[in-house]
Structure formats: structure tokens, C-alpha cells
Amino acid sequence: MSSATDLHPSPDLSDPPRVVLLEGIHPAAASLLRGQGFEVTEIRGALGPGALAEALRGAAILGLRSKTQVTAETLSECTDLLAIGAFCIGTNQVDLSAAAQRGIAVFNSPFSNTRSVAELTIAEIIALSRRLFDKSSGLHAGRWDKSAAHAHEIRGRTLGIVGYGHIGSQLSVLAEAMGMRVTFYDIAPKLPLGNAMALPSLQALLETADVVSLHVPATPLTEGMIGAAELAMMRPGSFLINNARGSVVDIGALAVALASGAIGGAAVDVFPEEPAANQGAFDCPLAGLSNAILTPHIGGSTEEAQENIARDVSSKLLRFMLNGSTTTSVNVPEVDLPLLRESQHRILHFHRNVPGVLGRMHTMLAARGVNINAEFLQSKAELSYVILDVDPVEGEAVKEGLRQIPETIRVRTLW
Ligand code: NAI
């Protein structure tokens, strides 16, 4: 995670950027941003379009979670906005292309809850192996059932991980520390951690694992990846865990396999259809099966993950604001910039990606006697982002000159 404190030798914050944080974002975000001199307004709930545009008047940064919709129309009203932080995983709530066309960089935090999902999975492996939920609900219902039958340690058992990415590989380390043997299957070549062993096919994994845990994204390839045929390949008494995406498992086929005892149990956190809001009605074929642990998409929902997200996204926003770097932005070209050297000025320029713009910029700067010491450029689709480190300049005049170039979308300076 990037540090927010070593970005710029002396950010000029005589006019502190205004930040609006919505939807009860973890206070670590406001604290980090205020620590760099930004003026932060925190609003607990989401805002509708009119109220949002109003709240963003004069604001350089918007922070939101999943409930606030940022449309092209709202963006057109927020002329001072430079960056949006989605303090969550998804970014569907923001019109990313409209933001890019205005040179507004959008950042999110795709991996801050990795550990939370891995830990939940470990808990579920143990809970299934000890029939914990069954025993607990039995006792709640007044049934004392002390027995070792069908209760197992996880030590020495084989965990098969499907998708060895951020979560899968983290789970691999935790599971091995608890004495499990780990195998995995991934479509991309992955370095096995510890003693984990890569398997050549999903079938090889399904046929040999005591616990199969899914950690793949929702893609056309993973849709219905585990159906009746795959469940039939699993070992009798084995467990299936889906903390990935609801589309990956045929939930009807899983209910049949659980009810018939073809597999021993399952833990499912994600469903093909999930209620849009808390307290929404929920029904699925797995409801009522005592060997299925069901959780309401809480794999990544911990206070630690929320704090990690707050720190991660704020750091990315600060790097963009104070240094110009767009690394990991989901919508604008990614440029990872060095620290600005003492006695240098930095020009940050978003423009339409067409021939001749750099030439016009150089000509304009040369005409003003501006000496360029370093230049960085990256393009993505129709947008280009160029950064020039120059000897000290009269910022407003240079910005005005660059705004005269018809392809210019946005220009900003740092010193
Ligand atoms: P990641 O992108 O780091 O890893 C995914 C891995 O799956 C990659 O190594 C990729 O090569 C592999 N993969 C993709 N298609 C595959 C296929 N057809 N067969 C085998 N391997 C395949 O993703 P990350 O962060 O590990 O997340 C994994 C899943 O967990 C995602 O679907 C994500 O949405 C979900 N998730 C669920 C949460 C929850 O609350 N339950 C919270 C966070 C993530």
C-alpha cells in the first residue's frame, strides 16, 4: 500500500482541496486526508443526483461506497472535481468513461478484504469438519448430542483451491499453517506458495480434495463452473465452499448433491440472486439443509477490511492530488511518477489521444521559454495523460496556454 506522507516535498495547500466523503466511509480516510491539509466534509448517507451536485460544488474529491450513483450528468455539473474514490471493490456506480472524458481519475480498493475472505474460509472448513452449525442449532433446540461421529480435524486433509489469486493464495498459506495439504487449479501459471501443488485440471482437483474452495472471478468461463457433473467428481463426504461469486455454482445441483449426501457439506456466501438491501426477502434451494452454511455475502465484510479500504483509497487519492500518479486508477491511463525534485514544477495534462498534441504542447512551452526536464506519457483508448517536470514557471500563464490547445481536457500544476 502506498504511503501518503512522502508524496511531495511541499504541496502548496494555501487553498486546501475540498473533499466530500459519503456513505459513512471509515474515519481513517478523513483522518489521512485532513493530515495532508485537505478540507473534509463527511456525510453519513448516500446522496441523490441533485443533492450530490450541490454537495460537490467546489469539491476536488468525492469519496463514496456502492449506493451513490455518479452519472455523466452529475459529472458535467461538478467542474471542480478531479478524482473519485470508490471506497469499496466495485465501480459500477460511477460512469467511468464519462469521468475519464473529463480527466477525473477514479480509484477503488479491490484487494483490501482479501484476508477477511481467507479467514472466513478457514472458519468454514473447521465448522464443516466439526458439524458445528448442526451441533449448535441442535443444542439451541434442546438436543444434547455429544458424539465424535463424522467430526474431523482439518490437519492432514487436502484443500483444493480453484483460483490461486489474491484470496486463493492467502488461503493457501493459512491452510498450510494449520496442517492441511494444499492443491490448486488456476488458468494462469501461478507460483505455488509453501508446499502447495498446482494441478493440471479442475477435474484432478475435484477428484482428490477433501475441501474444494472457489476463488475465481465471475467471467463467462467460470459461469456454472461447478454443476452436477463437477459435483459428481467430488469425493464422497467432501465439502464445497463458494465465497467467490454466485454465478460460479449451479445452486440447484448443489442442493441435490447435499440433500442426497453425495457430498458432505457446503458453505455459500454468494448467490445468483441477492437482495439489494438488508432485510430483503431471501430464498434459495439450499435453505433448510442442515449441512449447508449460508452467509449473506459477508466474506469481505470486517471492520479491518473497511479500515484497509479507507487507507488504501485515500492513499491513492493523495498520490494523485499531490504527486499526479494515477497508478491503479480504473478509468484513466496509469502513470507512476517519481517524487517531484526540489525547485521543479510539474504540469499534469489530460488530453484527447490524437496525433500532434505533444508537438503543440512543446511548441507552446518553448515559446514561453519553459525548460522541460522530464516527460511521462500514457494513453488509454481515447485519453492521454502527459506529465512534464519543468524548471519553475508562471503556472497560470502556462495553464492558460495549454487550455488553448483544442484537445486539452484538463490541466493542473504542482510545485
Ligand atoms: P484475483 O483476481 O486475485 O484471483 C482470481 C484468480 O482466479 C486468478 O488467479 C485467475 O487467474 C483465476 N481464474 C480466473 N478464471 C479462472 C478459471 N476459469 N479457472 C481457474 N482459475 C481462474 O481475485 P481475488 O481477489 O482472489 O477474488 C476472487 C473472487 O472472490 C472474486 O470473484 C471476488 O469477486 C470474490 N470476492 C468475494 C468476496 C465476498 O465478500 N465473498 C470479497 C472479495 C472478493
> In the prediction, which pLDDT does 5 show?
36
**Which of 88, 113, 119, 167 is the best mutation target for the ligand 1 pocket, counting ligand atoms within 8 Å of the beta carbon and taking the most?**
167
Residue pair 38/14 in contact by the 8 Å Cβ criterion: no
State mean pLDDT over 392-401.
89
Probe target for ligand 1 pocket from 164, 187, 216, with the most ligand atoms within 8 Å of CB: 216
- Indicate the domain borders of the chain: 1-113+302-332, 114-294, 340-415
Q: Given the CA of residue 245, which atom of ligand 1 is nearest to it? A: 32
Q: Which three three-digit cell numbers place residue 171?
A: 488461503
Residues β-bridged to residue 389? 346, 374
Q: Which pLDDT value is given to residue 11? A: 45
Please count the helices (runs of H) and the strands (runs of E) in the chain: 13, 16
- Atom of ligand 1 at shortest range from CA of 188: 11
Going through 171-277 in order, the beta strands assigned E by DSSP cover 181-185, 197-198, 211-214, 239-242, 265-268
Query: pTM value?
Result: 0.87
Compute, in angstroms, the gap from residue 377 CA to the centroid of ligand 1: 31
Q: How far is the CA of 18 from the centre of ligand 1 (A)?
A: 36
CA of 166 to the centre of ligand 1 (A): 7
| Cα gap 144→182, rounded to integer Å | 35
Helical H segments across 324-384, by residue range: 357-367
Kindly state the cell numbers that stand for 385: 495523460
94-122 tens-digit pLDDT:
999 999 999 999 999 999 999 999 999 99
Judge: domain 1-113+302-332, CATH 3.30.200.20: no
Atom index in ligand 1 nearest the CA of residue 185 equals 20
More confident residue, 6 or 332: 332
* 383 three-class SS: strand
Question: How many CA atoms lie less than 13 Å away from 79 in the CB half-sphere?
Answer: 0
C-alpha span between 235 and 232 (Å, rounded): 8
Pocket residues: Cβ below 6 A from ligand 1: 111, 113-114, 117, 162-168, 185-188, 215-219, 221-222, 243-245, 269-270, 297, 299-300
DSSP three-state, residue 363: helix
What single-letter DSSP state applies at residue 155?
Answer: T
Q: Which tens digit of pLDDT belongs to each residue from 316-331?
A: 999 999 999 999 999 9
279: pLDDT strictly greater than 70: yes
CA of 139 to the centre of ligand 1 (A): 36
Q: What is the pLDDT of residue 278?
A: 81
Mean pLDDT of 131-144: 96
CA angle 114, 185, 289 (to 5 degrees): 70
pLDDT beyond 80 at 49: yes
- What's the 46 CA to ligand 1 centre distance in angstroms? 28
Which atom of ligand 1 lies closest to the CA of 111? Answer: 25
Atom of ligand 1 nearest to the CA of 163: 7
**CATH superfamily to which 114-294 belongs:** NAD(P)-binding Rossmann-like Domain (3.40.50.720)
More confident residue, 12 or 332: 332
Cβ neighbours of 397 (radius 10 Å)? 11
Query: Could you report the per-residue pLDDT of 177-196, keeping only the tens digit for each?
Result: 999 999 999 999 999 999 99
List of residues 6+ apart from 279 with CB closer than 8 A: none
Per residue in 70-81, is it b (16+ CB within 10 Å) or e — as a string?
beeebbeebeeb
| Cα atoms in the 13 Å half-sphere on the side-chain side of 387 | 21
pLDDT band at 4 (very low <50, low <70, confident <90, very high): very low
Residue nearest to atom 14 of ligand 1 (CA): 216
Q: Has residue 7 got a pLDDT over 60?
A: no
Span 21-35, mean pLDDT?
Answer: 97
Rg (CA), the chain: 26
Cβ-proximal residues to 36 (8 Å cutoff; 6+ apart), any chain: 4, 5, 11, 13, 318, 322
CA of 290 to the centre of ligand 1 (A): 27
Report the pLDDT value the prediction gives residue 1, as an integer from 0 to 100: 34
Residue to mutate, 187, 205, 212, 301, ligand 1, most ligand atoms under 8 Å from C-beta: 187
- What is the band of 15 on the pLDDT scale with cuts at 50, 70, 90? confident
Three-state SS across 43-112? CCCCCCHHHHHHHCCCCCEEEECCCCCECHHHHHHCCCCCEEEECCCCCCCECHHHHHHCCCEEECCCCC
H or E element in which residue 21 lies? strand 18-21
Three-state DSSP at 152 gives coil
Residue 309 pLDDT > 60: yes
Q: Could you tell me the distance, in angstroms and rounded to a whole number, from the CA of residue 163 to the centre of ligand 1? A: 6
Chain mean pLDDT for the chain: 94
Q: What is the pLDDT of residue 229?
A: 98
Superfamily of segment(s) 340-415? ACT domain (3.30.70.260)
User: Quick check: is 245 catalytic?
Assistant: yes
How many other β-carbons are positioned within 10 Å of the β-carbon of residue 16? 15
Task: Read off the DSSP letter of residue 376.
Answer: E
Q: What is the pLDDT of residue 9?
A: 37
How many beta carbons lie within 10 A of that of residue 408, not counting itself? Answer: 19
pLDDT band at 13 (very low <50, low <70, confident <90, very high): very low
Active site includes 274?
Answer: yes
54, 273, 274, 382: which one is catalytic? 274
Please indicate whether the domains covering 1-113+302-332 and 340-415 agree at the CATH topology level.
no
Annotated active-site residue in 65, 215, 245, 346: 245
What would the pLDDT profile of 248-257 be if each residue is shown by its tens digit? Answer: 999 999 999 9
Has residue 216 got a pLDDT over 80? yes
